[in-house]
Amino acid sequence: MRYLQGGAMKSLPQIFRLVALLFVGILLTFSIPLLARDIQLPASRSVEIRQIRGTVTYQGRPARVGDRLTSPGQQIVTGRQSSAVLTVDTGIATINVAELTTIQVQNLSMAANGGRITRLSVPRGQARIQARPLTNSNSRLEISSPAGVTGVRGTEFGVGVGPNGKTGVSTLEGAVATTAKGRTVTVNSGYSSLVFPGEPPTSPKLTQENLKYELISLSAIDRNRARLICTVEPLNLIFLNDQPLEMDRTGRVDTVVPRPANAEYRVVVRSPLGKEELHMIGADLLK
């Protein structure tokens, strides 16, 4: 009997340890979910496709509503007479993408203090951006082109990027800061600025919605080609039969184009804010 009592006494510390381990296990089981609710991990960042019209590709395949751009280098491309609407995260910004436009992710990240860093690129085409005010002072929303970078904190503006990188920036509401070659200009509501590759942005001027063009000459070179010379407001983009045309800094276009089978040319002039005007050049004007 004494032997049994001694053995029981020796086993008490082990029992206490087992009870302690059991108690700790129960405590962790109930406390971990509570702790997890208080830990706020950074939400995943994305640019989501909300609407599609026509031909839009996402990473080389046909895009679908709900597709998300999440990593640097991912992009969407709109085809002829096509468009898309994108949203950044849960509505930081809405982007209306016009035809023949490329939108590419450069950076989607979270700052240490909760700020959201959003950098997108428009290497060609036209996009109109509506951004809500950024409440975190360290948040950034920037749109770059081959000519410069435009940063916003809550506004509505548009960019138009030509085939040679020439970029027009127009602000509808609020203000944006456009930077290139070490110079930054503030483009306020109702004003526009031009940025040419390798040059600082021009001083903002009152936006003139001039979507007209002036035909100087359209002459046949041979059965398959013609030479087109015209002028347009240099802030705008110009397309001939869905092909973007280069212009000089004064808005003069001098280019050789294919002769269409029906001898008609479809000319579209589009502003950085996405407004456009269609002009038709008939066969009777071809000399």
pLDDT at 86: 97
pLDDT at 138: 85
Query: Judging by DSSP bridges, how do beta strands 149-152 and 140-144 pair with one another?
Result: antiparallel
Q: Can you tell me whether residue 115 is helix, strand or coil?
A: coil
pLDDT at 282: 76
Structural domain span for residue 186: 47-206
Task: Give 63's DSSP letter.
Answer: -
- Provide the total of helices (H) and of strands (E) in the chain, helices listed first: 1, 24
Looking at the fold, whether 64 and 190 belong to one and the same domain comes out as: yes
pLDDT at 137: 83
Looking at the fold, whether 145 and 265 belong to one and the same domain comes out as: no
Contact 119, 96 (CB under 8 A): no
Contacts of 152 (CB under 8 A, 6+ apart): 129, 131, 141, 142, 143, 174, 176, 177
Alpha helices in 109-165 (DSSP H): none
Contact 94, 85 (CB under 8 A): yes
For the chain, which ranges sit under pLDDT 70? 1-43, 263, 283-287
pLDDT at 215: 94
Contacts of 31 (CB under 8 A, 6+ apart): none
pLDDT at 9: 44
Looking at the fold, whether 196 and 224 belong to one and the same domain comes out as: no
Pull the structure tokens for residue 99. Answer: 């035809």
Which of 206, 230, 258 finishes a domain?
206
Domain CATH code at residue 80: 2.60.120.1440
